[in-house]
Structure 1
Amino acid sequence: MWTLRAAGLLCLLAAAAGGPCPRPALPPDTVLSAVGANVTLPCLQWQPEPNGTVSWKLENQAVSSERAVLGASLLLRLVQDSDSGRYSCYVGGCLVRSLRLLVEEPPELPGFSCYRRSHVRDVLCEWQPRRRPSPRTRAVLWVKKWFTGENATEKRCRYFPKVDKFTCRVTVPPSEDDTLLLVSVSVSNGAGSVASKGQVISANRVLKPDPPVNVLVEPVERAPQKLRVNWMYPPSWDSRFYRLHFQVRYRAERSQSYTEADQLRETSLVIHDAWHGERHMVQVRGLEEFGHGSWSEWSQEAVGTPWADPNSPEWQTGSYSSQFPSDYDFYSDTFTGPPGPYSSNTEGTNGEALGVGERSTVPLYTFLVTGGSLFLGTGLLAGIVLRYKKKWRRGSLGQGKASVVVQHPLVLLAPPSPTSPVSEAPLLSPPASPGSVGSTGPFEVTNMDYLLVPQ
């Protein structure tokens, strides 16, 4: 263990300086061999034939003669990793010599990368070797604060056979999210050791959330160009204290290019420019709300198809149009019939704030009730106007007659001649009784002077 620790420290220093990692020394009783080679293990250190029967054992089990040639020297053909172990030579039943055989290749140079799933998780550094490592392979992550005199710390790495990965874990306190760390990986086995180049990281730099989960795509009722997308935060992200903003990309099944909508704070989106009757592929990814780290991987594809009128001929025959969006519906919002050649809108980036191609979903009876109400109201208003127009006209005429004053010229009457007799007839006739003949009212009809006087 001390040898591995010392080798790891030397590897970290060598990695920081850009040099190779020193190879650990093998014990004197160890024989190293590559996979597929032929190996000879001598029973005695000198060549003369031993006196007595020679036998070999591997870990206290007799060596089979199927792949080995037994004798004073043991010949193993095409050795594999399973042939590794301690071989013992017996002469006349007595142990003469014991050798340890290591069958393995030197470790690969680890090309590791580090990431952090959330602010409350540890930093993970992982890599996947090109070939399966031997069971005796050990990996260590060495961590040192950058530009400080502190010693490096050792973090053991674990190999997971199911995913064929090495994983190293680093715990970072919340107060040190921006602290720069120098990290390096040292891998060793019986055939040698190797160290990666040092990397300078911080917990915020390597922040990378997991992809969003439970992505669901649903049609919008009576909207043949809309799709509603919902998703959830990944379980590894604590959404009570830390938020993500999201990016959604989608495409029709027959299209090769994606349309993207980003800067989304909520876990839902309404797509306004979906193709009629076409299956759409939708994916979502997330980024820390302040832009720390990098985007998550895209979620698994979710599939959805816009709403279609089941009574339309296109829906019954399955012959919906999939034409490219046009600019027509950018200005139209009253179309409620089945999709046609003029019923799509311009394709582009979409978000909740966009109203591109949004279609009206108001039922037809609403338009009929509104139109009828407007018609009745207009007729009622017109009747009121005509009614009061006649009254206003009569009032204006009456005021005009009252204001007219007929001017008559004054005629000077000559005084009566003294010789001419004065008429004994009165100027005004005496009032007649209401029931007398020839009377039509309070005035005498025969009195023409009254009628000639302007009223």
Structure 2
Amino acid sequence: MEYTPSPYMDQSTTTSSTPASESDSEDEEMDTEGEYDDEECLKENRVKRGIMLRFQWQWDKKLVRKEDRDWGEITFLQGGAVLSLASVRPADTGKYTCHHNGREIFAVKVIVAEHPETPSLSCYKKSPSSKIRCEWRPQKPIIKRPSCYLLLSTSPFHTNTPKFNQIPCSYSSHCWCALDNNDDKLRVFHTAFLCVTSIVGNTTSSLKNFTPLDILKPDPPSNVSVQLEQGREMRVTWNLPMSWKQQDNYYRIIYELKYRPSVSSNDQVIGIKHRCSHTITDVLPGVEYLIQLRNREEYDGQWSEWTSPVYTRSWTEPQPVEPTETYDSNSLELGSGFPAAYYPDDPTTNPVDYLNSSHESPHVLWIVVVFAILSVILAVYILRNVLLKRPTDIHEFATTKPADVMPAEKARFEDIAKKLMKKCQHEGP
């Protein structure tokens, strides 16, 4: 693939005029040289102008150079005026521009794309009265958005020339089409195929045959919740799919409930009809469980996808709590400092009056007993000292010298002594 700066090339746009002739450039260069007296400045200016006169190529406003990117087999011909890409890849898609003398003179947009893959068409309904939706999701990235349309026929198979209607489709990240619902054709065979066109070619899907009720695939149940029951039971509840239309409630929906311990890989599946709750009766206590649901119409259509897992831990019997010491707030509110034994049942009684009543305090009794014992010990001690000291006093009294006795005492003493002597004489032997 070669690109040259020519206004006659396909897909090219000339964005500026062609460069001036070589003679004009030389005259300009000579005029410029006359303005410089310094030879070094003149040499530097020539180098700069030489660079400006070269051809330069840019890819999405980035300079095209071999050392900046793996361009594959890239070649610059005719002094850079021609860019040759021998092999291109989808990554080489972009806008290529040629610049000369600092101006853009040529631009071309290059799109590198592969032939579109063969589409795989799928069709479904989310509710009996909802629209039919057909879509195709590409497995490979697409550089250029393709155009899609659906060809649909409801003619009987025995018709020699079935009639196909072309239905336009939309494309965002995938191709999809929406078909209006027709209650009279819910069990009529439909034949459809998808056509995809792009800049590099066209392709079609294989034929798809279906009836609207056969492709009925509802969304999963909504609002799944689990309530723990005492013992080995868990109650699971849910609601209808959010996309299930109210006018379709006369259709009967069946469910499948799947559950297992989260550490196990063995699922248990229970079928449920015409109700939105179920009680699981064989759970292990204190074990975490994983619960999921799906649904479908009872007689037609396909199973929905499973709901997102709901994790819950089964009921565990609470352990008995040992009693702890508690304080009587009523006794603490009085704040008198008296023990609890001094507070009567009647809250209006004064604790001091109650203490002065016939109720004796253990502390008072102990004080009385100790005081009595101490009194007895003191009395014995005093009596013992008196008895032991009396002979000493008499001896001291007898040995007292007369000169030491006062006259009055001396006279009294002599009088007593005389009386004793007379008594001894009269009572002699």
* TM-score bracket for this pair, using the shorter chain length: 0.5 to 0.7
Aligned residue among 152, 156, 164 for 1:152: 164
Which of the two has higher C-alpha Rg? Answer: 2
Distance 1:92 1:281, change over 3 A: closer
- Please say if residues 146 and 200 of structure 1, whose CA atoms lie closer than 8 Å, have aligned partners that are also in contact: no
Displacement, 1:262?
0.8
Give the helix-richer structure, 1 or 2: 2
| Equivalence for 1:40 | 2
The answer to whether the aligner puts 1:247 opposite 2:256 as a matched pair is: yes
Alignment of 1:303-322 (within 5 A): 303-311=311-319
| Equivalence for 1:295 | 303
The answer to whether the aligner puts 1:225 opposite 2:237 as a matched pair is: no
Distance 1:106 1:312, change over 3 A: farther
Residue-by-residue CA offset, 1:112-141 (whole Å, 9 max, x unaligned): 211111122211222322221123322222
Structure 2 CA distance, aligned partners of 1:177 and 1:135?
Answer: 37
- Please say if residues 113 and 144 of structure 2, whose CA atoms lie closer than 8 Å, have aligned partners that are also in contact: no
- Please say if residues 129 and 181 of structure 2, whose CA atoms lie closer than 8 Å, have aligned partners that are also in contact: no
- Please say if residues 217 and 228 of structure 1, whose CA atoms lie closer than 8 Å, have aligned partners that are also in contact: yes
In the superposition, the TM-score normalised over structure 2's length comes to: 0.53
Q: Structure 1 vs Structure 2: percent identity of aligned residues?
A: 26
Displacement, 1:310?
0.7
| Equivalence for 1:122 | 131
Structure 1 CA distance, aligned partners of 2:263 and 2:281?
Answer: 18
Alignment of 1:258-297 (within 5 A): 258-289=267-298, 291-297=299-305
Letter of the 1:303 partner, please give it: Y
Distance 1:244 1:58, change over 3 A: farther
Structure 2 CA distance, aligned partners of 1:216 and 1:254?
Answer: 21
| Equivalence for 2:391 | none
- Please say if residues 252 and 279 of structure 1, whose CA atoms lie closer than 8 Å, have aligned partners that are also in contact: yes
The answer to whether the aligner puts 1:168 opposite 2:177 as a matched pair is: yes
In structure 1, runs of 5+ residues without a counterpart are 1-38, 314-455
The answer to whether the aligner puts 1:207 opposite 2:169 as a matched pair is: no
SS of residue matched to 2:307: coil
Distance 1:100 1:241, change over 3 A: closer
Residue-by-residue CA offset, 1:335-374 (whole Å, 9 max, x unaligned): xxxxxxxxxxxxxxxxxxxxxxxxxxxxxxxxxxxxxxxx
In structure 2, runs of 5+ residues without a counterpart are 10-18, 23-52, 67-73, 322-429
- Please say if residues 56 and 63 of structure 1, whose CA atoms lie closer than 8 Å, have aligned partners that are also in contact: no
The answer to whether the aligner puts 1:184 opposite 2:193 as a matched pair is: yes
Displacement, 1:175?
1.4
In the superposition, the TM-score normalised over structure 1's length comes to: 0.50
Displacement, 1:170?
2.0
The Cα RMSD (Å) is: 3.7
SS of residue matched to 1:103: coil
Residue-by-residue CA offset, 1:15-70 (whole Å, 9 max, x unaligned): xxxxxxxxxxxxxxxxxxxxxxxx32355699xxx9889979999x9884446737
Structure 1 CA distance, aligned partners of 2:228 and 2:95?
Answer: 68
Displacement, 1:278?
1.1
SS of residue matched to 1:250: strand
Structure 2 CA distance, aligned partners of 1:182 and 1:240?
Answer: 27
- Please say if residues 102 and 190 of structure 1, whose CA atoms lie closer than 8 Å, have aligned partners that are also in contact: no
Alignment of 1:9-408 (within 5 A): 39-42=1-4, 64-66=63-65, 69=76, 71-76=80-85, 79=88, 81=90, 84=93, 101-147=110-156, 148=159, 149=161, 151-161=163-173, 165-220=174-229, 222=230, 224-242=231-249, 243-289=252-298, 291-311=299-319
Displacement, 1:209?
0.3
Distance 1:100 1:255, change over 3 A: closer
- Please say if residues 56 and 87 of structure 1, whose CA atoms lie closer than 8 Å, have aligned partners that are also in contact: no
Letter of the 2:243 partner, please give it: S
> Aligned pairs, how many?
265
Structure 2 CA distance, aligned partners of 1:260 and 1:292?
Answer: 21
Distance 1:240 1:189, change over 3 A: closer
Distance 1:172 1:135, change over 3 A: same
**Runs ≥4 residues deviating over 6 A:** 50-59, 85-93, 95-100
Displacement, 1:158?
2.7
Displacement, 1:226?
0.6
Letter of the 2:214 partner, please give it: R
Letter of the 1:171 partner, please give it: D
Structure 2 CA distance, aligned partners of 1:56 and 1:62?
Answer: 11
Distance 1:244 1:96, change over 3 A: same
Distance 1:312 1:177, change over 3 A: farther
Distance 1:89 1:311, change over 3 A: closer
